[in-house]
Amino acid sequence: MEFINAIILLLNYTIIPALTYGSQLALGAIFVTLVYGILRFANFATGDMMSFGTMIAVLLTFYFQSLGISFGFLPTALLTIPFAIIGMIFYMLFIDKFVFSYYRIKKSPPVQLAMVSVGVMFVTQAIIRIIIGPFDRRFFDGEKFILKATEFKEMTGLNEGLTIKSTQAITILVTIVLVSIMFWFLNRTKTGTSMRAYSDNEDLALLSGIDPKRVVLITWIIAGVLATIGGVLYGLDKSYRPFVYFNNMLPIFAAAIVGGIGNPFGAFLGGYVIAFAEILVTYAYKKFFTYILPDFLEPDSLIQLLSTDYKFAVSFSILVIVLLFRPSGIFKGKTL
């Protein structure tokens, strides 16, 4: 019994939150990796592009709510995602046409494109702040919990409760579905294969008659889907605030690099590596050990490796360690 209690405790406070957060990071990291692999630059506007997509979803959610449209026990925001994705893709294609394509055709070095993306970051931030303002916004509605702690305790008779928020379940499910479709697309379809070929060797791909414009277009479409869904899921789970999204760029980058930048599967796992590291290292294990250790060994300190203030720092330290020992990431990067 003690042992099951300990497991439930870990599940409730570390594993489920980490899985949720990891899914959100993974979607962002795949976005970064796709752009890096195919368009060949580090996109510093990542966080703000996600924020832009989420902003559209938030505004539409408020509009739908005012019209009285709802999605039953599910959050209304899920209904707005398709529209937000369309808006996001249009914005991305617009930026690509007027900003990025010029440098791509000129074959500028990646550094210059990264700098340009900093400019895009500034502009996107300005647009977001002018439209919706810098404030914290909650747009979650519908049923909040799937499983409440008290219900779980009654059901099982355990000491520890297990809570599953509906946002957590939605996040994990949507991520699994989305990522499966994406990998199927990249590995099994002709278009996906041509994208991988383009990422591997641009010149050879062009020689085999792959249309670069089409590849770029599809990349931005996938990027738009990933960015919007990742952003909306994060916003549903926590809340929507432009500054937080900008900051999320950093763990997302860390996830992409840890997984091996340019490698979508690596990025997917990288998201979970970062999320689990952040949460496991900053969790206080006192209660856990009181359950599994005999009474006389019970700890009196918090047994916390690092205080929660260092949440971000943990993921970045992992990145530094990975860079030191395996500069190409856990999974070899630079191929798609």
Partner 1 sequence: MKQYKNIIAAYAIMILLIISVGVLQSWSIALTILNYCLISAVMTIGANIQWGYAGLINFGIMGYTALGGLAAVLVNTPPVKEAWKAGGMEMIISLILIILGVYLIQFILRKLVKSKKRNYLIALIIIIGFLVVRYISGPAIENIEAVDPAKTGFLGGLGLPIIFSWIVGGLFAAGIAFVVGKIALGLRADYLAIATLLIAEIIVSVIKHEDWLSRGVKNVIGLKRPVPYEVDLQNTSWFINLVEKFHSKKLQLISSMSEKQDILNQLVIDASSVYVKLCLAGLFLTVVIILLILTQKALYSPWGRKMRAIRDNEVAANAMGKNVVKEHLLIFILGSAIVGIAGAMMVTNDGLFTPGSYRPMRYTFVIWVMVIVGGTGNNFGAILGGFVVWFLWVEAAPIALFFINFFTSHLEETNPFKTHLIESAAYFRFLLVGVGLLIIMRYRPKGLIPEKINIKKI
Residue 147 gets which letter from DSSP? E
Alpha-carbon distance of 140 to 168, in angstroms, equals 12
Q: Nearest approach, Cβ of 222 to partner 1 (angstroms)?
A: 21
Q: Nearest approach, Cβ of 251 to partner 1 (angstroms)?
A: 9
Q: Nearest approach, Cβ of 274 to partner 1 (angstroms)?
A: 11
Residues that bind partner 1 (CB under 8 A): 41-42, 44, 99, 102, 109-112, 114-116, 118-127, 129-130, 133-134, 246, 250, 253-254, 257, 261, 307, 309-310, 312-313, 316-317, 319-320, 323-325, 327
Apex CA 212: angle with CA 209 and CA 206, to 5°?
35
Q: For partner 1, which is the closer residue by CB, 90 or 135?
A: 135
Q: For partner 1, which is the closer residue by CB, 124 or 175?
A: 124
Q: Nearest approach, Cβ of 17 to partner 1 (angstroms)?
A: 20
Burial tier of 57 (Cβ tally within 10 Å: 0-12, 13-18, 19+)? buried
Q: For partner 1, which is the closer residue by CB, 176 or 293?
A: 293
Our CA dihedral for 20, 22, 25, 29, rounded to 10 degrees, sits at -140
For residue 96, give the amino acid letter.
D
Q: Nearest approach, Cβ of 120 to partner 1 (angstroms)?
A: 7
Q: Is 163 helix (H, G, I), strand (E, B) or coil?
A: coil
Q: For partner 1, which is the closer residue by CB, 205 or 257?
A: 257
Q: For partner 1, which is the closer residue by CB, 147 or 244?
A: 244
Go through 85-99 and write b for each residue having 16 or more CB atoms within 10 A of its CB, e for each that does not. Answer: bebbbebbbebbeeb
